[in-house]
Amino acid sequence: MPLNSLSAAYRRQPRQRTASDIATALALVLLEGVICLWLALGAAMDEWAQAQDGSTPGSGSADHTVDVWMLWLGIAVLVTAAIAVARKAPWTVGVQSVAGLLLLLSALSPGPDQAPPAPVPTPAPYYSPCYSGSGTCG
pLDDT at position 111, please? 67
Contact call for residues 66 and 43 (beta carbons, < 8 A): yes
pLDDT at position 55, please? 66
Contact call for residues 59 and 111 (beta carbons, < 8 A): no
pLDDT at position 6, please? 56
pLDDT at position 125, please? 81
**Nearest alpha-carbon partner for 18 in 96, 81, 91:** 91
List, run by run, the mean pLDDT of 10-residue segments along the chain (138 residues): 60 74 88 87 81 66 72 86 84 88 81 73 79 70
**Own/partner pairs, 97-104, CB within 8 angstroms, 24+ separation:** 99/28, 99/29, 99/32, 100/74, 100/75, 101/74, 102/74, 103/32, 103/36, 103/70, 103/71, 103/73, 103/74, 103/77, 104/71, 104/74, 104/75, 104/78
